[in-house]
């Protein structure tokens, strides 16, 4: 056998000019602005995600939903029996190539068994999990069965009458609808949440009866206030909707806002148990139980035990109470502190003519009305053309009735089959379509009775054509058709509200304080900012306090573990902490470095500490310029758990000392030129403003400042009575002969 000659690809011949161009351009990097690169590469992806995946269109469906439901419709599952979910998933792959698991997860959420939708689109059999539980997983598709729910007849009723456009599927082997010709505003019937690129959508569900009523009213009056018909969102899980007129109107007008949903519960007196049976749509049974357990561990004493009793009868969370607990008071507390009351944040971002728009309820219903008017027009036009075609055929048949024998004779005497239709056209003055119809009539039907029975529809067809023509020319009549359809949908599928609307007054915030052990301790603070909390037992067994090199102890006080601590800094800030948040220390340890523990700003240092149990009393700030500011400690008390307050004291003059004082402390101030005064703190009026500059207490000579301030005992003040002043401000006598003031410090 002869070997085949090996063929080689012939080299492409280039001209010298072309070769030079290739060589000169090889390896060239073309620079372009990053904005151009993003626009060319990222923007198409972003738009694809938004338009083709994440957001619903005016028919209420994302592409994944629409492809699945249309596949089920073509499988005959609207009127037939259920089939295995795996079969449905496989058939949907012809339209949706994103994988069987993604398709099945989409299907699960649309089912009656999952309970995620107010009006499910799929009638299911088997375990499809529950929307209100993260722990109840759905069964595999080979175990479950499904068919379309009866309400889907309102989605596909007109789809075969050219009401919507059809486009090729991804491999161009079949057609699928761009939209579904829904006969009611399904876009607002069921919740729909999607996340696109740089934008998101969250549509809450509304009651079908209320939607239809509002839509009918809008068709009749475009200025109608939809809040007169729509009471608020209606969630499939029920619960209570806390009415907020302002926020609801914001959702109706702008499409953005939040509504609060509260769980429903009942109290079993015999078992002393609260049974929660309906929860907000934004949470799960597991999240609620976990939060209540966390609160119980953190100090909530009313709850004895909590368990999940969800079964085939539905959701149930059982909360056992301790003896004497008021169930209603406890639930008020749990509403504030757990997901038993939660908010649904609405963001009505939908696709209108291929572009994302955030619309309110009113505008969405108006857009749906425009869409539905177009569908009805196309349906009427389709039916009109069919009737015109039928009338045209019957008109030709009517002419045959005048002489049936002639028609038979023409057919019998025509030699060629291809000439039958032309001869009938000539013999009865009819066109080709009519002649083709007559030629196809069976011989047995070429009798007077058959033809009379057929042509008696001509009169009715003419009336119908006239009526349809009038409808196409009158938008008012089209709107009346839509109104009639909406009434039928409401009567057939409407249900009472699941989510009750309640009116609740604003309630004060409820706090659960963790039980803090109370025991005596001594608190220490060093100049460098090291803090220690040491118990009396530890102090008795300890030796000398350990300090960093060149550091000294500047503050020492006996208090309790429940004390509140205020750490003032050199940047006029105060950081709040609790003694209980610091571990018990020892004299042999350096302690906690406060700037690091409380996360001070860079370069910020502690200049003083105040300890309080109830924020009673005042604090005296002494400044270099001789002024002193008396501020009530209550000025630093906050309702919220704030960790830092700015403007804790005035920064107009450098701070010398921070002195916590009671009703009437004796204070001694000394200046750099050797003078001193003693005054009672009651001589200064308190100012609630934290950063007040204070009042002049010590009169200073030129180039002198206040260098120190101390609280001294009443006995010491009596001993140093010559320094006492009865009026402020005062310069004070020289104090060179008195002892070191440090020994008077309390």
Using an 8 Å Cβ cutoff, are 249 and 227 in contact?
yes
Nearest one of 604, 681, 603 to 648, comparing CA atoms: 604
| Domain spanning 264-339: CATH 3.90.960.10 | no
Using an 8 Å Cβ cutoff, are 134 and 287 in contact?
yes
Question: What pLDDT, on a 0 to 100 scale, did the predictor assign at position 164?
Answer: 95
DSSP state of 43: H
Mean pLDDT across the chain, nearest whole number? Answer: 88
H helix or E strand, kind and range, residue 218:
helix 208-220
Measure the CA–CA gap between 746 and 555, rounded to whole angstroms.
9
Nearest one of 145, 143, 181 to 66, comparing CA atoms: 181
H helix or E strand, kind and range, residue 478:
helix 475-493
H helix or E strand, kind and range, residue 361:
helix 361-401
pTM for the full model?
0.68
Question: What pLDDT, on a 0 to 100 scale, did the predictor assign at position 745?
Answer: 36
Using an 8 Å Cβ cutoff, are 627 and 690 in contact?
no
Question: What strand order describes the sheet that includes 564-569?
Answer: 606-612, 564-569, 574-578, 644-645
Q: Where are the domains of the chain?
A: 55-182, 264-339, 520-744
On the question of pLDDT at 393 being above 60, the answer is: yes
Using pLDDT thresholds of 50, 70 and 90, give the confidence band for residue 210: very high
With 0-12 / 13-18 / 19 or more C-beta atoms within 10 angstroms meaning exposed / middle / buried, residue 402 is: exposed
> For residues 734 and 216, which has the higher predicted lDDT (pLDDT)?
216
Question: What pLDDT, on a 0 to 100 scale, did the predictor assign at position 366?
Answer: 96
Using pLDDT thresholds of 50, 70 and 90, give the confidence band for residue 507: low
Question: What pLDDT, on a 0 to 100 scale, did the predictor assign at position 8?
Answer: 45
Which SS3 state, helix, strand or coil, does residue 31 take? coil
Using an 8 Å Cβ cutoff, are 512 and 333 in contact?
yes
Directed axis angle between helix 458-472 and helix 475-493, to 10°?
Answer: 100
Give the residue-averaged pLDDT of 84-93. Answer: 96
On the question of pLDDT at 3 being above 70, the answer is: no
| Domain spanning 520-744: CATH 3.30.540.10 | no
Using an 8 Å Cβ cutoff, are 523 and 556 in contact?
yes
> For residues 273 and 301, which has the higher predicted lDDT (pLDDT)?
273
Residues annotated catalytic, as ranges: 143
On the question of pLDDT at 742 being above 50, the answer is: no
- Cβ-based neighbours of 255, under 8 Å, separated by 6 or more: 346, 347, 348, 349, 358, 359, 360, 361, 363, 364
Give the residue-averaged pLDDT of 399-404. Answer: 81
Using an 8 Å Cβ cutoff, are 606 and 525 in contact?
yes
Nearest one of 582, 581, 576, 685 to 636, comparing CA atoms: 576
Measure the CA–CA gap between 732 and 667, rounded to whole angstroms.
13
Question: What pLDDT, on a 0 to 100 scale, did the predictor assign at position 737?
Answer: 62
Using an 8 Å Cβ cutoff, are 567 and 577 in contact?
yes
Q: Tell me the per-residue pLDDT of 479-500, one tens digit each, with 9 for 90 and over.
A: 999 999 999 999 999 999 999 9
DSSP state of 51: I
- For 469, other C-beta atoms within 10 Å of its C-beta total 14
Which SS3 state, helix, strand or coil, does residue 465 take? helix
Using pLDDT thresholds of 50, 70 and 90, give the confidence band for residue 23: low
Q: Tell me the per-residue pLDDT of 559-600, one tens digit each, with 9 for 90 and over.
A: 999 899 999 999 999 999 999 889 899 988 899 999 999 989
CA–CA distance from 105 to each of 110, 202, 274, 477 (Å)? 9, 19, 34, 42
For the domain 55-182, what is the CATH superfamily, name and number? Answer: Topoisomerase II, domain 5 (3.90.199.10)
């Amino acid at each position: 056998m002869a070997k085949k000659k090996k063929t080689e690809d012939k080299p492409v011949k280039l001209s010298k000019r072309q070769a030079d161009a290739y060589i000169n351009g090889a390896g060239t990097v073309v620079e372009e602005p990053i904005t151009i690169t993003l626009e060319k590469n990222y923007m198409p992806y972003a738009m694809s995600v938004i338009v083709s995946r994440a957001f619903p269109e005016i028919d209420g469906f994302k592409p994944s939903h629409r492809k699945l439901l249309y596949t089920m419709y073509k499988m005959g599952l609207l009127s037939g029996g259920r089939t295995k979910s795996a079969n449905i998933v496989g058939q949907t792959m012809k339209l949706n190539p994103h994988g069987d698991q993604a398709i099945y997860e989409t299907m699960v959420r649309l089912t009656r068994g999952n309970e995620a939708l107010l009006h499910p689109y799929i009638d299911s059999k088997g375990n499809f999990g529950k929307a209100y539980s993260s722990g109840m997983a759905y069964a595999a598709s080979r175990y479950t069965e499904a068919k379309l729910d009866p309400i889907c007849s309102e989605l596909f009723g007109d789809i075969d009458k050219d009401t919507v456009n059809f486009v090729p599927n991804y491999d161009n082997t079949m057609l699928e609808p761009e939209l579904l010709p829904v006969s009611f505003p399904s876009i607002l019937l069921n919740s729909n949440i999607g996340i696109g690129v740089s934008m998101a959508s969250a549509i809450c569900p509304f009651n079908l009866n209320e939607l239809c009523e509002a839509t009918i009213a809008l068709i009749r009056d475009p200025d109608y206030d939809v809040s007169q018909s729509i009471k608020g969102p209606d969630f499939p899980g029920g619960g209570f909707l806390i009415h907020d007129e302002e926020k609801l109107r914001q959702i109706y007008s702008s499409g953005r806002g939040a509504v609060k949903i509260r769980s429903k519960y009942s109290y079993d007196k015999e078992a002393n148990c609260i049974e929660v049976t309906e929860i907000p749509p934004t949470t799960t049974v597991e999240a609620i139980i976990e939060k209540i357990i966390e609160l119980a561990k953190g100090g909530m004493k009313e709850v004895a035990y909590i368990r999940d009793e969800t079964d085939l009868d539905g959701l149930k969370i059982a909360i056992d109470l301790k003896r004497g607990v008021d169930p209603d008071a406890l639930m008020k507390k749990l509403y504030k502190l757990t997901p038993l009351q939660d908010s649904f944040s609405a963001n009505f971002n939908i696709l209108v003519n291929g572009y994302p728009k955030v619309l309110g309820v009113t505008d969405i219903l108006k857009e749906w009305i425009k869409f539905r008017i177009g569908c009805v027009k196309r349906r009427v036009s389709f039916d009109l053309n069919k009737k015109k075609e039928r009338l045209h055929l019957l008109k030709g048949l009517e002419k045959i009735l005048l002489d049936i024998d002639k028609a038979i004779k023409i057919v019998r005497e025509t030699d060629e089959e291809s000439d039958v239709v032309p001869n009938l056209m000539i013999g009865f003055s009819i066109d080709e379509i009519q002649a083709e119809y007559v030629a196809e009539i069976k011989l047995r039907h070429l009798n007077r009775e058959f033809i009379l029975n057929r042509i008696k529809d001509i009169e009715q067809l003419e009336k119908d054509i006239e009526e349809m023509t009038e409808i196409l020319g009158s938008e008012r009549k089209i709107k009346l058709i839509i109104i009639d359809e909406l009434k039928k949908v409401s009567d057939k599928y409407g249900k009472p509200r699941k989510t009750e609307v309640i009116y609740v007054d604003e309630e004060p915030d409820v706090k659960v304080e963790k039980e803090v052990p109370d025991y005596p301790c001594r608190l220490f603070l060093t100049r460098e900012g090291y803090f220690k909390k040491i118990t009396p037992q530890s102090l008795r067994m300890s030796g000398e306090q350990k300090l960093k090199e060149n550091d000294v102890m500047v503050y020492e006080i006996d208090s309790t573990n429940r004390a509140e601590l205020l750490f003032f800094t050199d940047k006029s800030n105060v950081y709040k902490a609790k003694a209980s948040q610091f571990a018990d220390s020892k004299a042999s340890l350096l302690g906690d470095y406060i700037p690091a523990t409380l996360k001070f700003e860079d370069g910020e240092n502690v200049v003083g500490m105040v300890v309080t149990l109830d924020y009673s009393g005042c604090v005296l700030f002494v400044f270099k310029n001789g002024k002193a500011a008396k501020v009530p400690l209550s000025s630093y008390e906050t309702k919220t758990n704030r960790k830092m307050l700015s403007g804790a004291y005035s920064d107009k003059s450098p701070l010398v000392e921070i002195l916590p004082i009671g009703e009437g402390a004796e204070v001694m101030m000394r200046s750099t030129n050797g003078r001193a005064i003693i005054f009672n703190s009651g001589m200064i009026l308190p100012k609630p403003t934290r950063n007040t500059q204070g009042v002049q207490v010590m009169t200073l000579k030129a180039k002198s400042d206040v260098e120190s301030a101390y609280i001294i005992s009443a006995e010491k003040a009596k001993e140093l009575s010559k320094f006492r002043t009865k009026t402020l401000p005062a310069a004070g006598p020289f104090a060179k002969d008195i002892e070191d003031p440090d020994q008077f410090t309390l």
